[in-house]
Amino acid sequence: MKVLSVQQPWASLICAGIKDVENRTWKAAKVPGRILIHASSKKVTRNFFAGIPEYMESIIKNEVGFGNLPALDTLPTSAIIGYVTVKGFEEGKSDSLWADGPGVIKWELEDAWMFDEPILNVKGKLNLFDYDEVDEDNLPPAHQVPLSAVDLNDNEDEVFIPCEENTFEQIKSGELDSMQLYLEGYLYNTLCVESTLEMKPFKAVTIECGNEFVKFELKDESGIFALPDPEDETKPYVIQYPDGSECGWLIADFVFGKKLDEGELVGFCGGIKKDMIDQLMKN
């Protein structure tokens, strides 16, 4: 079966179904269809985020915070971690936030699967290469990652936020009294009053992890805030998007007040919102 080697965390982002474009300077002679994704030997470095656009940093940090992606320093390397279908190549403009600019060939990806257990100790190679120990008709056990996302109740006065386990335990114990999200993609429409950068008047926030939740009143100091420019903290940090537009680098800050409830989820309040993630990649 054909294999493409990709550095982390991009390999895991692809197999989780979050990253829908892989940028290359070359393309295969024909659209290869389903291929294996190999995570190369290079681990994610401490200064990784210094080398990528801030809007990508925002997405990745949110996905880790939601529990959709493991901590970057735990991602497997030198391993085949899943598979994906290459549906075509785009050499011009792409709507995906993961696409690079002109002169780059965008491999358009869909139907991503993560192996339940990575195939370890596999050395990567350049271009597409063959791995004869896996047959497309007899693939190892795999799953599609259930991508959780921020959601609202029908009245839009309560916000539901998925959370990874360690942060959730700190929130439950009272070690953390707030939660911050980078304001990117679908979160603008979900969290902000229409056509403004003002947070909707939420009365409560529910943090969810697995089948557990904890619910708080929201303090008045919650809201949408611009991160300061590190070179001049009196000015907002302005970031640029692929279409050339600029915007302040914004966070949504949820400051917890009185604890209202906690326990096990009877019904899944926030919901799995893969359609939201798919839309995020295109907006």
Asked if residue 51 is part of any domain, the answer here is no
Q: Give the tokens for residue 65.
A: 């915070």
Indicate whether 19 and 134 sit together in one domain: yes
The predicted model scores a pTM of: 0.91
Please tell me the predicted confidence (pLDDT) of residue 93: 87
Coil, strand or helix at 69: coil
241 pLDDT band, cuts 50/70/90, is confident
**What mean pLDDT, rounded, does the chain reach?**
93
Number of domains in the chain: 2
Asked if residue 94 is part of any domain, the answer here is yes
Coil, strand or helix at 207: strand
Asked if residue 160 is part of any domain, the answer here is yes
Please tell me the predicted confidence (pLDDT) of residue 266: 75
Indicate whether 130 and 247 sit together in one domain: no
Q: What is the mean pLDDT of residues 121-147?
A: 95
Asked if residue 97 is part of any domain, the answer here is yes
- Are β-strands 33-39 and 105-120 bridged in parallel, bridged antiparallel, or unpaired? unpaired
Indicate whether 204 and 246 sit together in one domain: yes
Flag whether pLDDT at 267 surpasses 70: no
Is the CB of residue 264 less than 8 Å from the CB of residue 230? Answer: no
Q: What is the mean pLDDT of residues 87-115?
A: 93
Which has the closest alpha carbon to 247: 230, 227, 232? 227
- Are β-strands 223-226 and 204-209 bridged in parallel, bridged antiparallel, or unpaired? unpaired
**How do residues 169-205 score in pLDDT, each as one tens digit?**
999 999 999 999 999 989 999 999 998 999 999 999 9
Asked if residue 260 is part of any domain, the answer here is yes
Indicate whether 171 and 103 sit together in one domain: no
Q: Which of 143, 159, 176 is the last residue of a domain?
A: 143
Q: Phi and psi (nearest 5°) for 20?
A: -105, 5
- Other beta carbons within 10 angstroms of residue 117's beta carbon come to 12
Q: What is the mean pLDDT of residues 84-104?
A: 92
Flag whether pLDDT at 279 surpasses 60: no
What residue numbers bound the domain in which 267 lies? 151-282
Indicate whether 177 and 158 sit together in one domain: yes
Flag whether pLDDT at 271 surpasses 90: no
Asked if residue 57 is part of any domain, the answer here is no
Please tell me the predicted confidence (pLDDT) of residue 101: 82
Please tell me the predicted confidence (pLDDT) of residue 244: 84
Indicate whether 250 and 158 sit together in one domain: yes
